[in-house]
Chains A and B, each alone.
Chain A
Amino acid sequence: MSAAEPSVDLALARAHGLADDEWERILEILGRTPSYSELGIFSVMWSEHCSYKSSKLHLKQLPTRAEFVLEGPGENAGAIAIGDGLAAVFKIESHNHPSFVEPKQGAATGVGGILRDIFTMGARPVASLDSIRFGPLDDARHRHLLAGVVEGIGSYGNCVGVATVGGETGFHECYRGNILVNAFNVGIVDADRIFRATASGVGNPVIYAGSKTGRDGIHGASLLASAEFDEESDAKRPTVQVGDPFTEKCLIEACLELMRTDSIVGIQDMGAAGLTCSSFEMASRGGTGIEMNLDRVPRRAAGMTPYELLLSESQERMLLVARDGEEERVCEVFHRWGLDAMVVGRVTADGRMRIHSDGEEVVDIPVDPVAASSPELDRPAREPAELRERQKLDPTSVAPEEDPEAALEALLDTPELGSKAWIWRQYDQLVQGNTVLGPGGDAALVRVKREDGTPTRKALALSVDCNPRFCFLDPRTGTLAAVAEAARNVACTGARPMALTNCLNFGNPEKPEIMWQLREAIRALGEAAEALGTPVVSGNVSLYNETLGVPIHPTPTVAMVGLLDDWERHAVSHFTAPDLAVVLLGETREELGGSLWLARRRGLEQGAPPAVDLPAELRLQRLLARGVAEGLITSAHDVSEGGLAVALAECCITGPERLGAEIELADRLRPDALLFGESTGRVVAAGADAAALLAAAEAGGVPARAIGRTGGDRLRIGDGRGDAWIDAGLARLHRLWSNALPRRLAEPGEGA
């Protein structure tokens, strides 16, 4: 053992974030005191980030199977069959803590990490989405964070040649101390060529490929991602890694080239906890062991210790197991792409991880107790004491909206609802040439091509959603709403929602109230996924999203993948032609709780969030698929934040050309609930034949009413008694909506 290494004891274990009982367990497993390197390994492998120890027990309840599911949770990403012999491989993952500490590199490496999860499976990454959330933009720090995160996502995604086709951006006080950056990617692969992260075949070579290993990102997983923020967090900046999208691009091409051969047995990216996590996971899945020599690891800095080499989170690195004898062929491909590749070890039969450095054995640990049998906690959970109080809202105490038109204008001007063009203009939305619908609509639509470039008729519809205000007021209903909305958005294009991935962003699970939120959300996620027939095929849990004890709102981000059989037959979210019938699908109830109107116009974050009726949701989504396929629906837009008035305005102003509408909304509900309430399960649809659409809705068991027609350059919403609640010129609405972000960022917007 090197003389420079500290002596290992309970105090050092605690400094590594290990609990006292975990320390006891280590002593039991090894039958001796661990070496410094071994302690490092246990600390990262058993960190919340790598082990999911607080959530594992609950995640087991999720529905993960269906006939079309080829790979569920447990691999690098989920995979579903999409016909034509192809599979879609996808996952969403968080990079919250690094992005708060260093927004550009944090977000960039978040994109890089999720891309590796996809091409590790043999799939070419084809489209990305991002769900990002910040504190209020009147805070200079959050303007800086937004600009940095967007630049990071753009600089990485653009350079690596993967289109960013959509996403969502949210703002709320609760993210002031802890922003969220969740990155989603989907790739396409031949269904019979999916690769797994397994180390099988005793004697097979273990090959390291990609960037050299440096000292960056050591303990990113254990100390940064698995703890709350405090005043000292800035000192953690060195635990953030730096991304190199050019190397990643070369790595993608080299890996995909190799995966077309039979040289590769298994492959895993070195993400969180780097070489340690990847080798343990591969050996654990293969039921094998690995013998590795650290002297052969390509390195960026001289004098790196075994501890550093094992825990570095340097980006753009892969670990491969090749067939014996194929070493040279594999390394040659990486070398042609200008990348390092080196045989660093062999697969063994003894189920142990044995690592040598400089002639000494520095690690000798049985694989299974560290990887597969990592701790699983059943943490105590308790409903927050103030929750019931928060859910109470006496509607009579809420003053009615005095000026609906002013309210509409104010809502369109919020950062939440304003145009996000300033953000997505900075992303390459087009590369790979498949973007049928890019950002700005309900869902993105991406045509499917084979790896050889042959196009298919199919397209994937993609959406990512969560309403944290709903989740704060009721984590269960809020999570149901997130799944329902993601599926509805996908359905608005005409696609069938197929399967989902999720990123559960919560506070400190050691607090029973947070654990309760997490449990409620996971239960609801399972319930909604089951009811809508969209299994959970991959996901990620991000805990400890708090600063100085203040947690974020529970934010279970849901990304849905849908399938459209003919990409040329789809609906868009904006009105497409004058004189179309506008039909409101779904039921509007008097539900103001949790609405953006209530938060912005009355300063209240209160009440029960709108109810979610999953069977009604399913009927609506089936009607949309049928209506689009039969040409009854040419545009469909989900009614969500801001309610019906905002949805109608968006239909008018978000298309390439503005198009007005004359709407009548006679109803018994109080007008502000009708206009701005956020009842779920609703869609504004437009089509040429109102009678046919209403008949289809009736046959499909979906409440529907014709509410007006498209045309003109104004949005008029009449009260059914001859007066108009809203009668607004579209040019003005468009200007307010377009400038909502630029004016807050002091960036050029749309002129008068």
Chain B
Amino acid sequence: MRFAVVQFPGSNDDRDMAFALKSVLGVDAELVWHRDPELPPTTRAVLLPGGFSYGDYLRCGAMARFSPIMAAVRRFADAGGLVLGTCNGFQVLCEAGLLPGVLRRNRGLHFVCETSCLRVDNAETSFTSRARAGQVLRIPIKHGEGAYYATAHEIETLEANDQVVLRYCEPDGSVTDAANPNGSLGNIAGIVNAAGNVFGLMPHPEHAVEAAIGGTDGALLLGSLIDAVESGERTLA
């Protein structure tokens, strides 16, 4: 297996992520149980899916980061492995300290499910190579706690290093407060770590891979990850 989709109790988009990778994009993807101490040895990328791990009755992702599999994910990431967390997966990555910042309650206090416009601010990452810089992607969001927050210093660092990959924007690409669905600082929708191998985003690329069900812009992000895995394998070979 090359693409490992971690299944926490309460994960909801786990099967959808596996479906997008396997049935739509045609790569080898499987679910990995959260209590497994190790990732399968053939793992080339890890995906932390959306949902409500452990019910998220505490802070979102705060319990999941203690799952045995997360130690293995951390080792995988530290060794340069590619990790992508969507929605609850992004929250878990932040709670685990693999990405800076936290996701707070949406400023409108309601859960929000809608198609969001996202501007690609960095198309040079392993997760965005199939997109153009400045391109506007239409990918759904669905979360109650997606307001990205980090200290002024952390934000400054993210901006200086081009780690802000996606921002909520208007259909024309302009970044406005009206286009910000949850109150994220700087309209931040997705970030990578400094090494560029860990990516977290609130939107759901796995729900935008089929033309008649949510469109195909999500396939640009997942496809970029597939490209990165395949080029990594070529380099290894």
Mark A residues whose CB is within 8 Å of B: 151, 154-155, 158-161, 244-247, 249-250, 337-338, 424-436, 447, 449, 453-455, 567-568, 747-748, 751
- List of A residues within 8 angstroms of B22 by Cβ: 453
A-B CB contact pairs (8 Å), 27 listed: A155-B111, A158-B52, A158-B142, A159-B56, A160-B12, A246-B54, A246-B55, A247-B55, A249-B9, A249-B12, A337-B9, A338-B9, A425-B110, A425-B114, A426-B111, A426-B112, A427-B111, A428-B113, A430-B113, A430-B142, A431-B13, A431-B142, A433-B20, A433-B206, A433-B207, A747-B108, A748-B108
Q: B64 to nearest A CB, angstroms?
A: 12
Q: Determine if A432 and B16 form an interchain contact, defined as CB atoms under 8 angstroms apart.
A: yes
In the complex, whether B105 has a CB less than 8 A from a CB of chain A is: no
Q: How far is A567 from B213 in the complex, measured between Cα atoms in Å?
A: 10
| Residue pair B16, A246 in contact (C-beta under 8 Å) | no
What string of 1s and 0s marks CB contacts (under 8 Å) between B91-121 and chain A?
Answer: 0000000000000000010111110000000
List the count of A-B residue pairs having beta carbons below 8 Å apart.
96
Instruction: Flag if B110 contacts A426 (CB, 8 Å).
Output: yes
In the complex, chain A residues whose CB is within 8 Å of the CB of B56: 159, 246
Write the nearest CB–CB distance from A93 to chain B, whole angstroms.
Answer: 23
With A161-B12, A161-B51, A430-B204 known to touch, is A435 a contact of B113 (CB < 8 Å)? no
Given contacts A159-B52, A159-B56, A338-B9, contact A430 B214 (CB under 8 A): yes
Task: Indicate if the CB atoms of B12 and A431 lie closer than 8 Å.
Answer: yes
Q: A428-B12, A449-B19 are in contact. List 20 more A-B contacts (CB 8 A).
A: A154-B111, A159-B10, A159-B12, A159-B56, A161-B12, A161-B13, A161-B51, A161-B52, A246-B52, A425-B111, A426-B110, A426-B112, A427-B111, A429-B113, A430-B214, A431-B50, A433-B206, A434-B213, A453-B23, A568-B212
How many interface residues does B have (CB within 8 Å)? 36
For residue B141, which residue of chain A has the nearest CB? Answer: A430
Inter-subunit contact A425/B113 (CB<8 Å): yes
Residues of chain A within 8 A (CB-CB) of B15 are 432, 453
Contacts of A158 in B (CB 8 A): 52, 111, 142, 144
How distant is the Cα of A246 from the Cα of B108 in the complex, in angstroms? 24
Q: Which residues of B contact A455 (CB under 8 A)?
A: 23
Of A249, A433, A747, chain B has the most CB atoms within 10 Å of the CB of: A433
With A250-B9, A751-B178 in contact, do A159 and B113 touch (Cβ < 8 Å)?
Answer: no
A interface, over-half SS = loop
B48 at the interface (CB under 8 A from A): no
What residues of A have a CB within 8 angstroms of the CB of B144 in the complex?
158
Q: A161-B12, A453-B18 are in contact. Are A430 and B207 (CB under 8 A)?
A: yes
- By beta carbon, the residue of chain A nearest B115 is A656
Q: A431 to chain B: which residues have CB within 8 Å?
A: 12-13, 16, 50, 142
Please tell me if the beta carbons of B55 and A159 are within 8 angstroms of each other in the complex. yes
Contacts of A244 in B (CB 8 A): 55
Q: Tell whether, in the assembled complex, residue B52 and residue A453 are in contact, meaning their CB atoms are under 8 Å apart.
A: no
Give the shortest distance, in Å, between A734 (CB) and chain B (any CB): 16
Interface of B is mostly: mixed
The closest CB in chain A to the CB of B144 belongs to A158
Rounded to whole angstroms, the CA-CA distance of A138 and B15 in the bound complex is 43
B108 CB contacts on chain A under 8 angstroms: 747-748
Across the two chains, which residue of chain A brings its CB closest to B140? A430
A515 to B140, CA, bound (A): 48
Write the chain B residue with the least CB distance to A433: B16
A contact residues around B214 at 8 Å (CB): 430, 433, 435
A454 contact set on B, CB distance < 8 A: 23
Q: How far is the CA of A247 from the CA of B17 in the complex (A)?
A: 22
B19 touches A453 (CB 8 A): yes
Docked complex Cα distance between A169 and B195 (Å): 49
Q: Give bound CA distance, A244 to B214, whole Å.
A: 30
Nearest-neighbour CB distance to chain B for A425, whole angstroms, equals: 6
CA distance A715 to B178 in the complex (A): 28
The complex places the Cα of A453 from the Cα of B16 at a distance, in Å, of: 9
Give the 3 A-B CB pairs with smallest separation, nearest first.
A246-B55, A161-B12, A433-B16
Task: Chain A residues near B213: list those with CB within 8 A.
Answer: 433-436, 447
Q: Once bound together, how far apart are the Cα atoms of A751 and B179, in whole Å?
A: 12
Q: Which residues of B contact A245 (CB under 8 A)?
A: 52, 55
How far is the CB of B159 from the nearest CB of chain A, in Å?
A: 28
**Most central of B57, B140, B207 by chain A CB within 10 Å:** B207
Q: How many angstroms between the C-alpha atoms of A17 and B23 in the bound complex?
A: 56
The residues of B that contact A250 with a CB separation of less than 8 Å are 9-10
Residues of B contacting A751 with CB < 8 Å?
Answer: 178
Q: Which residue of A lies closest to B50 (CB)?
A: A431
Nearest chain-A residue to B57 (Cβ)? Answer: A246
Question: Within residues 3 to 39 of chain B, which ones have a CB less than 8 A from any CB in chain A?
Answer: 9-13, 15-16, 18-20, 22-23
Residues of B within 8 A of A430 (CB): 113, 140, 142, 204, 207, 214
Residues of A within 8 A of B140 (CB): 430
A432 to B214 CA separation, bound complex (whole angstroms): 12
- A92 vs B210: C-alpha distance when bound (angstroms): 30
Looking at the assembled complex, report how far the CB atom of A421 sits from the nearest CB atom of chain B, in whole angstroms. Answer: 8
Min CB distance, A651 to chain B, in Å?
21
Nearest CB of B to A450, in Å: 11
A-chain residues with CB within 8 Å of residue B207 when the two chains form the complex: 430, 433
A748 to B212, CA, bound (A): 30
